[in-house]
Amino acid sequence: MTSNNSTNQTLCDPVSTSSLPTFIFLYSLVFLVGLILNSFTLWFQFCRAQKTISKSWMVYLKNLIATDFLLCLTLPLRIADYADRSVTVHLFYCTFGAPIFYLNMYTSILLMGYIATSRYNNFHDNFKTQPVEICIRGGLNYN
């Protein structure tokens, strides 16, 4: 039974005890700043942003904001796990906190890739039509 607990303790999130205060401080700082900035961005995008914009990358951007906000909300579980080294808190973090943290992180990476691809395609399509516009207008088009 003791070896099983020590195996679970090392499999989920192996961190040396000497670096725990540093991680607690950094995750607390990231949590506070992220909570404030992500809350403002969520409020702005969903309540104050123009409703007429219907670009595909805006959909990805809104999903990215929501995912980053959820990622920020999982940080207190990680901080609690680092601060209180009890088995119950660690098992709760390993069962719920860590999977949600990594799922949100990978979702953010995928959404940033989709946004970059969408922006590249828009740029690439505009670049194809620009020589035609140059010939028609007789000059460079900087719109």
Sign of dihedral through CA atoms 53, 56, 62, 68? negative
Report which DSSP code applies to 17: G
Predicted pLDDT at 3: 46
pLDDT of residue 28: 95
78 inside domain: yes
Looking at every residue in the chain, the average pLDDT score rounds to 77
C-alpha separations of 142 from 27, 119, 130, 131, 132 in Å: 44, 17, 10, 12, 14
CA atoms within 13 A on the CB side of 103: 10
Instruction: Indicate whether 143 belongs to any domain.
Output: no
Res. 26: pLDDT tops 90: yes
On whether residue 34 sits in a domain, the answer given is yes
Q: Give me the number of domains the chain comprises.
A: 1
Position 20 in a domain: yes
Q: Residue 23 sits in which domain range?
A: 15-137
Confirm whether 8 is domain-assigned: no
Task: Report residue 29 as tokens.
Answer: 């700082």
**pTM of the full structure:** 0.67
Burial level of 63, CB count in 10 A (0-12/13-18/19+)?
Answer: middle
Confidence band of 31 (pLDDT split at 50, 70, 90): very high
